[in-house]
Amino acid sequence: MIEKPMIIQELEEIQDTALEALKKIENEEALQNWRRDILGRSSAVMSVFSNISQHPKELRPLIGQVANQVKQTLETALLDRSEIVKEAAILQKLQDEKLDVTLPGRRPVTGRYHPVSTVLRRIYAIFADMGFQVHRSRDVESDLFNFELLNIPAYHPARDMWDTFYVEGEGVVLKTHTSPGQIYAMRKNAPKPTRAILPGMCYRYEQISARSEIQFNQLEVIAVGKNITFGDMKGTLNGFVRRLFDKDVRTRLRPSYFPFTEPSAEMDVECFVCGGKGCSVCKGSGWLEIMGCGMMHPVVLQNGGYDPTIYSGFAAGMGPERISMLLHKIEDIRYFWGNDIRFLEQFR
């Protein structure tokens, strides 16, 4: 019985400690390190092969055999461990990324239309059905278009109807109403007939209160052609109001004054809070004012490029904020441009 060569004992020890260490390995990175240290090119086990010639000839086969066995044992153990580590990693991943498909989803916060946009869109739709086109015009306007061409000469007392923001520069104003658009729209079409609505932001140098803002929308309605009568205006506006509010709502035309229309009127709708009996909203009158209107003044038709002896037309102007206030019973116009999210969120 020959004594076991030292090297064989060493190999067995290496194998034991390596297997012991392997059992404790939990992750892929540690596995790779173990492989490099134990089975890598410069590891103790592998150097036995390269240094085999240092051993006596008769011992070399035995040493080689044992070294091979050790190497194989370690390789198989590594494969087994690697399986276990991989499986554990998958389980861990499943655990960490568990998805509860029964949880109700989180609703994304969506934007909404501003109440004035909603009203404007409804108005557009109604007039579009009647063949009206939408025209847009500028916010900064010349005195000429805002007043002069609309039959409001400088120093005419009618200018007091509009508290005007004057912009730096000669005769430059922020438009006080959408009526200047009448001239642009007519000049574009004359002498062909014009049927248009003109929405836009208007500005007035006024004390801000529950009923008046310095900035608000208006929407102008115009129709110009041959044989257009006051009756056409009444029919068109009544049709519009009934579609906007209610098919049975009553309206009335009240004489009024505007420099650019003759005759001029104010259209009222029956108060839908009290049904015409009189309440605080209609200030006891039973009626709510919703727009100014009238037959286009010959001077305005002329300035728009139509011969007033051949053509006639009507115009009307309304305030979408006011209409929205009536529709939703909003009692303060300042809410519209106050940007209070609690107000805006109420409109779906």
Residues that bind ligand PHE (CB under 6 A): 177, 179, 220, 258, 261, 292-294, 315-317
**Residue number with the smallest Cβ distance to ligand PHE:** 317
Please report how close the Cβ of residue 100 comes to ligand PHE at its closest, in angstroms.
59
Please report how close the Cβ of residue 255 comes to ligand PHE at its closest, in angstroms.
12
> ∠ CA(140), CA(218), CA(236), 5° rounding?
135
Q: Which is nearer to ligand PHE, 115 or 294 (CB)?
A: 294
Q: What are the strands of the beta sheet with 172-174, ordered from one edge? A: 140-142, 172-174, 166-167
> ∠ CA(133), CA(136), CA(137), 5° rounding?
140
Q: Which is nearer to ligand PHE, 257 or 347 (CB)?
A: 257
> Amino acid identity of 267?
M
172: nearest Cα among 160, 180, 184: 180
Q: Which is nearer to ligand PHE, 45 or 197 (CB)?
A: 197
Q: Which is nearer to ligand PHE, 200 or 292 (CB)?
A: 292
What is the three-class DSSP state of 250?
coil
Please report how close the Cβ of residue 133 comes to ligand PHE at its closest, in angstroms.
17
Please report how close the Cβ of residue 249 comes to ligand PHE at its closest, in angstroms.
21
Structure tokens at 178: 């959408």
Q: Which is nearer to ligand PHE, 151 or 179 (CB)?
A: 179
142: nearest Cα among 168, 167, 173: 173
Q: Which is nearer to ligand PHE, 71 or 177 (CB)?
A: 177
How many other C-beta atoms are found inside a 10 Å radius of the C-beta of residue 24? 9
Please report how close the Cβ of residue 217 comes to ligand PHE at its closest, in angstroms.
11
Please report how close the Cβ of residue 159 comes to ligand PHE at its closest, in angstroms.
12
Q: Are 170 and 324 within 8 A, CB to CB? A: no
SS3 content of the chain, % helix, strand, coil (to 5): 45, 20, 35
